[in-house]
Structure 1
């Protein structure tokens, strides 16, 4: 790479809820070329004058299609990071996206795997470049928006119970949430025709049958609440 060049990439922080642990898992891609060949990293692509992407969003969809091989329920740009030290090849920058996946999402081949997000955040799983930092910043974005929006529902099953919604919110925030406060939020979304009762129930091995909800056709982006979910928890 010449002194005049800057290496630009689009990287993806893709998360799903693990049904057994009720914790978030991160999608990783095994690198096929140097630097760090064979290591597990965030899925990403290089963007430059020879790529066909018309813009960053198209590049993000190329990552989804060619590297991650998943279809997200929600995708948003988080930010851009750049420095002379993040890539051994020289000065580089990454525009990174947050993708939220349905909990039943599986990997397409051996070059992809889901790992516990907590293992990446605490360093038990090391990632090349600054991918751990990009992951942390994306998770902070998710937690910040989970406080006042419906964003965690994209991590719940397409047909979800109140408990599914509660587990998704708690996984995003890393703390317990008041069940009553969560129910009130779902009622507000129902009144606004963002979610609806499917008329069906699931039947757990233990406990009472649980009502199943789903997002309506008009639901897109996020539903914004005028009160913090953490404030509700504190009873303020």
Structure 2
């Protein structure tokens, strides 16, 4: 049987995780093994095959960093004719949230301070960055995956600060209280400071 032909559409994944210890959101990249841009860092991506869905292509892309996503979604399509030196190729940018505990083969870089990336991946990241920020506390699959089943008030502040660039603690607490399926638990001791509030998903 002949191999399934690839299309002129790529699926490139912005794979994120929240590093609670570093209090920052990190982006998964990998070093390309083949030309073009062999040896350069890039978002995990593949050419969409003629018989697969975007989600299936995204899973193949994440296999490059040995990762299984907790949640995924689509962002934007990029159609710059010269984005790929091999010829005109559309890029469908998707997001994925990965577990911070699960071993993987990714190189993790700060979302807000990535190194130069291959193809037009710098532009893809810059354009979709506000969309990723807008998912926090509004898109439940994204939010639940990136915060985990329980998280502290400090985690919520750090995530909001990293993704939105600003945080108002009073407004944040009210926003969290309005999210379906999220409840505030008892305060727990966290080091020498004041006890921190814990939030948890109820279903």
Which category describes the TM-score, using the shorter chain as reference length? 0.7 to 0.9
Gaps of 5+ in 2: 1-5
Counterpart Cα distance in 2 of 1:196 and 1:10: 36
Residue 195 of structure 2 corresponds to which residue in structure 1?
A: 209
Counterpart Cα distance in 1 of 2:58 and 2:136: 23
Counterpart Cα distance in 2 of 1:216 and 1:69: 30
Gaps of 5+ in 1: 218-236
Counterpart Cα distance in 2 of 1:105 and 1:94: 29
Residues 15 and 99 in structure 1, CA contact (< 8 A), matched pair in contact too: yes
Residue 151 of structure 2 corresponds to which residue in structure 1?
A: 160
Residue 3 of structure 2 corresponds to which residue in structure 1?
A: none
Counterpart Cα distance in 2 of 1:105 and 1:132: 27
Counterpart Cα distance in 2 of 1:184 and 1:142: 21
Residues 74 and 154 in structure 1, CA contact (< 8 A), matched pair in contact too: yes
Displacement of 1:162 in angstroms is 1.6
User: Which digits, 9 at most, give the CA deviation of each residue in 1:131-165, with x for residues without a partner?
Assistant: 01111222110223448556555432431112211
TM-score by length of 2: 0.83
Residue 196 of structure 1 corresponds to which residue in structure 2?
A: 183
Residues 29 and 43 in structure 1, CA contact (< 8 A), matched pair in contact too: yes
Aligned pair count reads: 197
Counterpart Cα distance in 2 of 1:32 and 1:202: 47
2:66 to 66, 69, 79: 69
Give the strand-richer structure, 1 or 2.
Answer: 2
